[in-house]
Chain A
Amino acid sequence: MEVTVTGLNALAFPHMHIWDWRVALYLFLGGLSAGLAVMAAVLHLRKNGELVEGEAASWIAPLCVPVVLGLGMLFIFLDLEHKLNVYRLYLTVQPLSPMSWGSWGLLAFFPLSALFVLATLPERLYGWLMLDSLRNLARRLTESVRIIAFINLLMGIFIGIYTGVLLSSFVARPLWNSSILPVLFLLSALSAGAALMIIVSRSLAAKLFFTKLDIFLIAAEMTVLPLFFYGQYTSSSAHRASILPFFAFTHEYLWFGSAIILLGVIFPFALVLKLLEIREGHVTALTPAVLFRMNLSAALVLLGSAIVRFAFVYAGQLSHYL
């Protein structure tokens, strides 16, 4: 059957472009901070904290978490149309609204990540803490660093999933309305966190550990992404149409086609680079060439993670039922 839909008064048709780069950036930065919190916690928890010895990432990574999270929260705040009413989020709990429990989650995550910073800050840097009470608190928290790391790990997973659930709960947007999306976003967040850990860590042992971890995460992401598209393709006609922007390769959908091509290049390339690094794992010194390769592969993973968020936020708004 041939079906044509033409608007009689195109002017009266709805403007469906609601979320822009600010939301995409928030989802990326929120996911990155969540992934980084998980990876920083893993650094502290693994092998009774063996990897922490002399490793600057043990305090730099926790320090980056609230900074990146705060930046992400700034962008979601900037996206609100009525910013003065933002306190209304915290006057109620709406269990069916992911944005409600997400905003409560962020409210909990931010101070918990700040406690992680205090617990991991080396004593020589206590001068940064302006107040005596903060210095005393930091000293006391150092004894419970593993418990705080574990709580941050759980919160990181929660926030990583939440960024995906936020989009997947909308029945009206077929591209987002998939239970695979939160899994994809969590994997992407963890992978980005591991990539940032590779960049900020100094020791070869830590870099190689997170490289190995990232290999598994990228491989999982590369498995879940095609499965997501397969699930959409085999679902209803609206779900099938929702992935059209990624595979139409027309000028209208240039950015979405480019995104899928870039992802198809970035992730395998980063994976190969990382596998090569593992093969060279026996080296005792980090030469500039090795460092460059490690940082390049990590930067590629971060770029891929950002592309996933931007592509999905924009393409989801093109998908509809009516």
Chain B
Amino acid sequence: MPRYAMVIDTRRCISCMACVVACKAENDVAPAHFRTRIREEISGTFPDLRAETRSELCNHCDNPPCVYNCPTRASYKNEETGMVLLHKNKCIGCKACIAACPYDARYVDPVKGVVDKCTFCDHRIAAGKQPACVATCVGGSRVFGDLDNPNSSVSILLRQHPSEVLLAGAGTEPRVFYIKHYRTPR
């Protein structure tokens, strides 16, 4: 069984927003809502500043608070792929999952009246394609693959470079990894 994950190499992100647009077009995301976003973070004290651009999306956590807080089992963790998905026909729109998500990755689809979120483009994966945001990423910042396959690009990247997850302290065990600096060559 595959264990899908995404690696985001922040050094390769050029903030072109192609992923945001591709996701919106591919998944027919409701107006004024987005399943992924780009965040720019500037840290340090002037003039020694460091800018980081980072894409954010659903982290498909292994310990997902949105799934635990769902009262109807609409939100679930797919045991085969490890992706956090939704049975939209079971969603009552109580918004508990939105409140529970520390990554603010969910929203209410105002047209359908149910909660929606990133699915890692599971329909594309089933057809043997990459998620739309990965396929369109011009800088090669987004990489998608199977963690259980040692030869997949995500496994190789995670072996080669130190990586981080967002809010590791929250204990959600995310499946989206960020590479912020490369390992110094020997």
- Chain A residues in contact with chain B, CB under 8 A? 1-9, 11-16, 18-19, 79-83, 85-86, 88-89, 91-92, 94, 96-100, 103, 169-173, 317, 320-322
Contacts of B143 in A (CB 8 A): none
**How far apart sit A6 and B43, CA to CA, in the bound complex (Å)?**
11
If A85-B89, A89-B92 are given as contacts, then 11 extra A-B residue pairs at C-beta distance below 8 Å, sorted by A number, are A1-B45, A8-B53, A16-B98, A79-B95, A85-B92, A94-B71, A94-B72, A96-B68, A97-B68, A169-B100, A322-B166
User: Chain B contacts of A322 at CB under 8 A?
Assistant: 56, 102-104, 166-167
A-B contact count (CB 8 A): 150
B123-150 to A contact mask, C-beta < 8 Å, 1/0: 0000000000000000000000000000
> Which of B38, B41, B89, B103 contacts A9 (CB under 8 A)?
B38
Tell me, yes or no, whether B1 is within 8 Å of chain A by CB: no
Q: DSSP majority for the A interface? A: loop
* A88 and B90 form a contact (CB under 8 A): yes
CA distance A171 to B44 in the complex (A): 28
Closest chain A residue to B41 by CB distance? Answer: A5
Whether B72 pairs with A8 at a CB distance below 8 angstroms is no
Cβ contacts under 8 Å, A1 to chain B: 43-45
A277 to B68, CA, bound (A): 48
Q: At the interface, yes or no: B7 with Cβ under 8 Å from chain A?
A: no
Q: What is B's interface to A at a CB cutoff of 8 Å? A: 15, 17, 20, 32-34, 36-46, 53, 56, 65, 68-74, 89-96, 98-105, 107-108, 112-115, 166-167, 170-172
Partner of A8, one of B15, B69, B90, B108: B15
Interface pair B37/A9, CB less than 8 Å apart: yes
| A18 B98 Cβ-Cβ under 8 A | yes
Question: Does A18 contact B71, Cβ atoms closer than 8 Å?
Answer: no
Assess whether A89 is in contact with B71, with CB atoms less than 8 Å apart. Answer: yes
Q: Tell me the bound Cα distance from A11 to B69 in angstroms.
A: 28
A-B contact pairs, 12 of them (CB 8 A): A5-B39, A5-B42, A9-B38, A18-B98, A81-B93, A82-B92, A88-B72, A94-B72, A97-B71, A100-B72, A103-B71, A172-B100
Contact B92 A88 (CB under 8 A): yes
Report the separation of the CA atoms of residues A13 and B72 in the bound assembly, to the nearest whole angstrom: 27
Question: Given A19-B99, A171-B65, are A7 and B70 neighbors across the interface (CB < 8 Å)?
Answer: no
